[in-house]
């Protein structure tokens, strides 16, 4: 389509302009590539999130086969978008073509990388665990299960909190739980033990760290899914939690 071609041309010209501006103010090639790749990958990630929301939007009255085809089609597109976001983020070397150079190692000075994964210290895990256990008990009406098992899960999930956000994360988690009390209560009531489904079908809802997982699903689902897969945890269970949180509590306030 013509307008897509126009967008692509504009993007190429804008990228060249950005690299030129960054070169003029002394930004080196590595840093310029990092910033531009992050923006481009983030744009695709935004499209990913929009398409994921279409999973439950199959037209009514078309039958189960149509609905499954719709779901499979959305999943196919989101898989491709996730891969494209990864590929865009990995593109390096373009900045050098616009006159940017990498400083010699001896003179290279970098600011701390605040966009990377958080360091998961025992203190950080314990602080988050205390928040989740308190809200879980209050909202579900059930005591928290084993804290040691929860700590293992949090050690996988919490790196998706960026370094720059570690200090304020406990407060953000508190605010998330307060702002979504009705949704969380419904999540635990419908999908937790004693709810509409047999125990274990939505197994993650049975644990207090499900509150952190829901916050991470809202904030950085792609990164969460990557860390989860790397840890060899059940992707089916995470998919079911995503489904329950994004669609099973949708509209609840």
> Residue 107 — pLDDT band, cuts 50, 70, 90?
very low
CA atoms within 13 A on the CB side of 100: 25
Among 160, 149, 147, 151, which residue's Cα sits nearest to residue 229?
160
Report the C-alpha gap between 167 and 156 in whole angstroms.
18
Query: pLDDT of 189-198, one tens digit each?
Result: 999 888 899 9
> Residue 179 — pLDDT band, cuts 50, 70, 90?
very high
- The pLDDT of residue 183: 94
- The pLDDT of residue 111: 54
Among 138, 164, 137, which residue's Cα sits nearest to residue 220?
164
DSSP category for residue 244: I
Which residue did the predictor score with more confidence, 64 or 238?
Answer: 238
Report the C-alpha gap between 28 and 99 in whole angstroms.
9
> Residue 104 — pLDDT band, cuts 50, 70, 90?
very low
Query: pLDDT of 120-164, one tens digit each?
Result: 899 999 999 999 999 999 999 888 888 888 899 999 999 988 887
């Amino acid at each position: 389509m013509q307008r897509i071609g126009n967008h692509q041309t504009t993007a190429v010209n804008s990228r060249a302009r950005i690299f030129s501006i960054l070169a003029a103010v002394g930004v080196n090639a590595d840093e310029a590539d990092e910033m531009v790749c992050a923006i481009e990958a983030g744009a695709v990630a935004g499209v990913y999130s929009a398409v994921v929301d279409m999973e439950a939007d199959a037209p009514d009255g078309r039958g189960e086969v149509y609905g499954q085809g719709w779901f499979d089609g959305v999943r196919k597109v989101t898989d491709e978008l996730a891969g494209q976001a990864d590929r865009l983020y990995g593109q390096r070397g373009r900045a050098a073509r616009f006159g940017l150079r990498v400083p010699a190692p001896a003179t290279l000075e970098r600011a701390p990388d605040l966009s990377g994964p958080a360091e998961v210290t025992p203190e950080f895990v314990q602080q988050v665990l205390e928040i989740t256990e308190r809200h879980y008990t209050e909202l579900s009406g059930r005591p928290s299960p084993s804290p040691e098992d929860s700590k293992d899960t949090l050690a996988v999930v919490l790196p998706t909190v960026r370094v720059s956000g570690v200090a304020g994360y406990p407060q953000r988690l508190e605010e998330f739980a307060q702002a979504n009390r009705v949704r969380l209560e419904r999540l635990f009531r419908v999908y937790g033990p004693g709810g509409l489904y047999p125990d274990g079908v939505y197994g993650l809802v049975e644990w207090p760290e499900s509150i952190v997982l829901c916050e991470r699903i809202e904030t950085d689902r792609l990164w969460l899914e990557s860390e989860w897969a790397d840890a060899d945890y059940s992707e089916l269970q995470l998919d079911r939690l995503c489904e329950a949180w994004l669609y099973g509590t949708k509209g609840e306030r």
